[in-house]
Structure 1
Amino acid sequence: MDSAKQMALIAYDAMEDKKAEDIRIIEIGEISTIADYFIIANGTNSSQVQALVEGVEEALSKEGFEPQRIEGIRSSNWVLMDYGDIVVHIFSREDRLFYDLERIWRDGKTLSVEDLQ
């Protein structure tokens, strides 16, 4: 398994463990040089968004993956975690609806977690 898939699975599992809502994996490597995968989810409130961020960062760090940068952590409305090959977007429910990344990146391929295994 390549490292991008491995990171995507780890991030997905970490968010699922923290009860993230509507976790989506979008393969964008064929249409963009930004990353291979976007993992998008939302929390129900700012505390849960923070817990999701911490869970993803801890799980990936345990496996030796460190973020290139993390943005938006203070506001907890939209946190972007850039790991190079994957970018994790964790939103508040309202901001996810507003920014609608799934629509913007609709040319990417939406995957199930099984597709990564």
Structure 2
Amino acid sequence: MENKTIIQLAAEACDDKRAEDIIALDMNEVSLVADYFLICHGSNERQVQAIARGIKDKMEENDISLKRLEGFEQARWILVDIGDVVCHIFHKDERSYYNLERLWGDAAPVSLQLEDNK
């Protein structure tokens, strides 16, 4: 499956769990770590876990395997590794502290088609 399709599916899963400020970055020109980053946050630990579970379930529904899921128990910053797409699900407080959007400011934003954007 194409990476743009995977990031769109992951973004929809985040949106379904009411993740806030969902953004996608094209990392191809700025990092060897991944082709795309998806970044969002939840307002509490339970919501952060629900968002991560939602991504996992959406990938399984589409026969896409996760490489790794880190930080689930603490639910302050969960990393969902889907190969060339890496999803960062933050607790609201941690998102502003780590500020990945600024850290990777050279990465081009990717347009997402979500309920709120239609």
1:95 matches 2:73: no
Deviation of 1:67 (Å): 1.1
Deviations 1:80-103 (A, max 9, x none): 011111000000000000000001
Match of 1:33, SS state, is coil
Identity across the alignment (%): 38
Root-mean-square deviation (CA, aligned residues, Å) is 1.0
1:36 aligns with 2:43: no
Alignment of 1:59-70 (within 5 A): 59-70=58-69
Alpha-carbon separation, structure 1, partners of 2:4 and 2:57: 17
Q: Structure 2: which 5+ runs fail to align?
A: 114-118
Q: TM-score, normalised by structure 1?
A: 0.93
Runs of 4+ in 1 over 6 A off after TM superposition: none
Output aligned runs, 1:15-94, within 5 Å.
15-94=14-93
TM-score (normalised: structure 2):
0.92
The secondary structure found in structure 2 opposite 1:54 is: helix
* Matched pairs, number: 113
One-letter code aligned to 2:104: W
Query: Which amino acid counterpart does residue 66 of structure 2 have in structure 1?
Result: P
